[in-house]
Chains A and B, each alone.
Chain A
């Protein structure tokens, strides 16, 4: 008997693909770590939140499948927000690298998945025709990008640190500095939009959007730590942001319908 026998572990954790098809549907979503649809402190949610119970759906092929993207969908500068809209110089602001992995709830990397991101400029102004904040547009900054995760689920991009900005909720509400993320996963039921915040921002605990999150640990997981080891000396600081999508159940002993 091997003295170093590994501890018993759920067979779904950390085992390489393929084993059995992971098409048993996604793990049930734990709604207690998400903000509720109706969150009166975030006023816009009041008229935009369904009031009936959601109908729980066993995942069918419609939910476990989703769009597949490839490098042909992207351009070479898509993950470089310092260069992808530069007209006559670099954008103003703190140069940063944001990097991390897209994982699922079993801890496996989610490979080749599309990650899209967008943000305000260093002064807190969005390049959007509906944003009227008095901070100036940066002529060299678009504020969006995208990347495809690699085989291990890893992604990265370069940008400038966004600034905080005021918004109409209470008369003196300010958003902490943040970057919006859109992530796909392999099935449409994994689709997720979230926001990444920056370690140490004093606006985080008083943001009316963030205070709708019912779970303190869930909020903390949206805050990216400074990652000095990943920074580029004399060039850019780095922040680390891992994103976790729903895990999928395996179909161990299920009889397959004919044709499958």
Chain B
């Protein structure tokens, strides 16, 4: 017998269930309990960068929007730097931007929105430039283990074409499932996205 390795096993994932709001966004469940709450607004008055709105839906295999889904996003700041000690890249930290937020979909329409800034391009450990992107984590009733995907930006065509992760996707047609489309509404920049859980347009999900 060789020596035992004694690693622990990761705790098994379980669905967030239909009432995930109680714990993570109590105001959506219909009550007020914490002094301080997390929200879908990542931007603060001092945050540097272009203000944008990310707006989209998550569709099930029948094309119906999930109305009880919860999304979290994690992103770099406008200089391409994550607000975390393991990011040792050269971009400047922005004390006024944590880079994380969470949102529940609207109970009627299924629309999810975030108010944030457009992240800068990041540099990976090998020194490669990665196109600006937002990391997305999706949980809901019926989702047994959180789904990881990314959102890229439609106005970053050249950066997207060179992005090492987008280029890992074998079928170019599937790369489009990760691109949020830039538009404008009432003077605000809105990037629209659709996440398809199934079907011919199924979004690319990652095993991170």
Contacts and interface: CB of A to CB of B under 8 A. Distances in A.
A246 B146 CA distance: 14
A22 B29 CA distance: 38
A189 B148 contact: yes
A45 to B, nearest CB: 5
B206 A144 contact: no
A46 B10 CA distance: 25
B188 interface: no
A144 B23 contact: yes
A118 B86 contact: no
Interface stretch (B12-20, B48-56, B154-162, B179-187): B12-20
Contact of A57 (B18, B36, B208): B208
Interface stretch (A91-99, A192-200, A232-240): A192-200
B110 interface: no
B34 A78 contact: yes
Contacts of A35: 12-14, 144-145
A260 interface: yes
A257 B122 CA distance: 13
Interface residues of B, number: 85
B208 A48 contact: no
A61 B82 contact: yes
A194 B14 contact: yes
A126 B61 CA distance: 28
Contact of B33 (A13, A84, A116): A84
A62 B207 contact: no
Q: What size tier do the contact residues of chain A reach? A: 35 or more
Given A107-B8, A126-B19, A243-B11, A47 B141 contact: no
Contacts of B23: 116-118, 144, 146, 180, 182
Given A23-B86, A67-B100, A144-B26, A34 B13 contact: yes
A214 B33 CA distance: 37
Contacts of B142: 42, 44-49
B144 A47 contact: no
B109 interface: no
B156 to A, nearest CB: 15
A219 B14 CA distance: 10
A15 to B, nearest CB: 13
List 6 A-B pairs, minimum CB-CB distance, nearest first: A118-B23, A44-B142, A67-B100, A65-B84, A48-B142, A54-B207
Interface of B: 3, 5-24, 26, 29-31, 33-36, 38, 60-62, 64, 66, 68, 72, 74, 76, 82-90, 98-100, 107, 122-127, 130, 133, 135, 137, 139-148, 150, 165, 168-169, 197-198, 202-208
